[in-house]
Amino acid sequence: MRATHPVDLPLPASTTATPQASRLSPLFNRLHPSPETLLLILSLVIGGVTGAGVVTFHYLINLIHSLMLEDFMGAIASKGSWTLACIPTLGGVVIGLMRWRFRDFGPNMSSLIAATRGLQELSPLKPITKMVAASVSLGTGASLGPEAPSVEIGANFGMLLAQVLQLSPERQRLLLGAGAAAGLSAGFNAPIAGVFFALEVVLGSTFATSSVSVLLLSAVVSALIAQICLGAQPAFALPVYDVRSPLELPFYMGLGLLASVVSLAYTEAIQLADRCFQGKVQGFAWLGRLPRPVHPIIGGACVGLVALQLPQVLGVGYETVQAMLQDVKFSLPLLLVLLFVKLAMTAISLGSGLVGGIFAPAMFLGASLGSAYGIFLAMVPALGDHVAGPPAYAMVGMAAVLAGSARAPLTAILLMFELTRDYRIVLPLMAAVGLSVWLVECVNRRSTAHSLNLQQMGVDVAVNEPIAAREQLQDWEDALGDRIVTELISCQLPIDDEHKEDESVLAIANAHLPENVKPLPVPETKSAV
């Protein structure tokens, strides 16, 4: 293959070169590496930095957890059991102060994808602020997970590196995916699942076969660093899967059916909570009138009060999931209560502005559902000796709910496969995950898989008003990113009778864009959006 310069495609006209780019780009041009060589080198760098960042993030979570839920809680526990509610509330106070001070914690996955098209500038310091905010949220007991911040650590660095080197938009998107793969790989110690996550969620159908090498190297290096620093053990120690009978497969498909219902309820609850805190739901308008920094305090207080009766809802919840997988005896009513309460607390935590991901809560919901389903089957006299134990159904439930809510079936299957390292679990996983995702797709035909995937990483996709403006901006959604579209729609664009005939909708929208969003070029000829 003929070697070419690594920066052969210029940035869009709206993007200006940074001082770092002016120094680094000539250096690479003098070395004359091929584009493929440059990308492989950058993937190694991204994997190494992301791995170190995820390790730091985990250490920070454990430090705050130790200080607050162990040391500080131990000091005030003598005042009564009610003091447990103080810890998540205090975390909400800290997050509220951070939101008052910084207002914005930096770009999410949707904004990063928009940045690959030159639509938004990145700040190298905001991701650090978001990592600290996520550490405080998770360390003080917010009902969220660490995977979204881990992915964003890698994605932000990959995107920043690509912009500094002035790479083409296609290569920016590729390095963004490499960072996302590295983040999930280090977070779960599952490099294969990390690669497929980047392919399914970030790159979609835009990747070439040669791109896989970049993702693989980044994921492997990141996972290696995480294993050295955090240990080589997987996120969960899972029991040996026991196949009782081939006739058991329909029962796993039944679990997939239930998982689709939980997945739909999960995503709807997240959007409902977000609208409640925006004051867009009847009876909750008062929440929208409160200052935004107050919302995390309310969310933390809700989690803390519920934790007085159900402490299992606190934090990431890996300990409770581990207990379910190890066949620790949970009563059927308790599992059902945990299922509904965890769903509600996760929605409230995310809607209130606490920082974290919802992959881990999805796996908690799936484990609770699967365990309850397995207990129910064991209670049927004719089935007791012919079905696997509740832990097996808990494993499959984890994958089915995760796949249905994130719309990432391959990621869910491979994640569970890497955790179990047992091929026998694959068939039940495929059956349950396939049915769950198919049913969710049938219900949400009008929603794009891309948008729902991004939503699971903390992106706002609930765009409802005004309807006329949304119809005008529908074609921009992929290019701008869901959050930017939300900002545009919130501007209340004028209707046709209120603006000049020769002024396009795009020009009007550019005038209402947020300060950190670059305007889109207006074509010379008038065109309908």
Per-residue pLDDT, 295: 92
| In-domain check, residue 240 | no
| In-domain check, residue 12 | no
Q: State how far Cα 178 lies from the chain centre.
A: 15
Mean pLDDT of 506-527: 57
Residue 282 sits in the same domain as residue 403:
yes
The tally of domains found in the chain comes to 3
Residue 127 sits in the same domain as residue 254:
no
- DSSP, collapsed to helix, strand or coil, labels residue 433 as helix
Confirm whether pTM is higher than 0.85.
no
Higher-pLDDT residue of 515, 149: 149
Do residues 510 and 519 lie in contact, with contact meaning Cβ atoms separated by under 8 Å? Answer: yes
Residue 261 sits in the same domain as residue 208:
no
Which tens digit of pLDDT belongs to each residue from 41-95? 888 999 999 999 999 999 999 999 989 888 888 788 778 778 888 899 999 999 9
Residue 478 sits in the same domain as residue 438:
no
Write a three-state SS string for 126-138.
HHHHHHHHHHHHH
Is residue 373's pLDDT more than 70? Answer: yes
| In-domain check, residue 522 | yes
Mean pLDDT of 243-254: 80
Mean pLDDT of 472-479: 40
Is residue 152's pLDDT more than 80? Answer: yes
Residue 95 sits in the same domain as residue 204:
yes
Per-residue pLDDT, 241: 61
Residue 364 sits in the same domain as residue 482:
no
Residue that finishes a domain, picked among 230, 264, 292: 230
Residue 63 sits in the same domain as residue 96:
yes
Which tens digit of pLDDT belongs to each residue from 395-413? 899 999 999 988 888 888 8
Residue 321 sits in the same domain as residue 436:
yes
Is residue 463's pLDDT more than 80? Answer: no
- Best-predicted range by mean pLDDT among 8-12, 229-233, 382-386? 229-233
Residue that finishes a domain, picked among 417, 447, 477: 447
- Best-predicted range by mean pLDDT among 109-118, 153-162, 220-229, 514-523? 220-229
Residue 424 sits in the same domain as residue 480:
no
Residue 71 sits in the same domain as residue 209:
yes
Do residues 274 and 460 lie in contact, with contact meaning Cβ atoms separated by under 8 Å? Answer: yes
| In-domain check, residue 408 | yes
| In-domain check, residue 5 | no
Mean pLDDT of 215-243: 80
| 38 confidence band (pLDDT: 50, 70, 90) | confident
Which tens digit of pLDDT belongs to each residue from 374-383? 999 888 887 7
For 243, the token pair is 């196949």
Residue 266 sits in the same domain as residue 220:
no
Residue 131 sits in the same domain as residue 55:
yes
User: Distance (Å, rounded) from C-alpha 165 to C-alpha 167?
Assistant: 6
Give the number of other Cβ atoms within 10 Å of residue 442's Cβ. Answer: 9
Mean pLDDT of 456-479: 38
Percent of the chain at pLDDT > 70 equals 70
Is residue 266's pLDDT more than 90? Answer: yes
Which range marks the domain in which residue 98 is found?
19-230
Nearest to 262 by CA among 402, 98, 107, 81: 402
Do residues 350 and 356 lie in contact, with contact meaning Cβ atoms separated by under 8 Å? Answer: yes
| 14 confidence band (pLDDT: 50, 70, 90) | very low
- DSSP, collapsed to helix, strand or coil, labels residue 386 as coil
Rg value, the chain, Cα: 24
| 446 confidence band (pLDDT: 50, 70, 90) | low
Is residue 489's pLDDT more than 60? Answer: no
Is residue 526's pLDDT more than 70? Answer: no
Least confident segment among 335-339, 437-441, 481-485: 481-485
Per-residue pLDDT, 457: 43
Least confident segment among 79-88, 131-140, 364-373, 441-450: 441-450
Least confident segment among 12-16, 109-113, 145-149, 266-270: 12-16
| In-domain check, residue 452 | no
Q: Any idea what the CATH number is for the domain that residue 309 is in? A: 1.10.3080.10
For 117, the token pair is 């098209």
User: Distance (Å, rounded) from C-alpha 139 to C-alpha 66?
Assistant: 8
| In-domain check, residue 455 | no
Distances in Å between the Cα of 137 and the Cα atoms of 61, 94, 119, 338, 512 are 9, 9, 30, 20, 33
Q: What are phi and psi of 239, to 5 degrees?
A: -75, 165
| In-domain check, residue 2 | no
Per-residue pLDDT, 83: 85
Residue that finishes a domain, picked among 390, 421, 447: 447
- Mean pLDDT (the chain) is 76
User: Distance (Å, rounded) from C-alpha 327 to C-alpha 336?
Assistant: 16
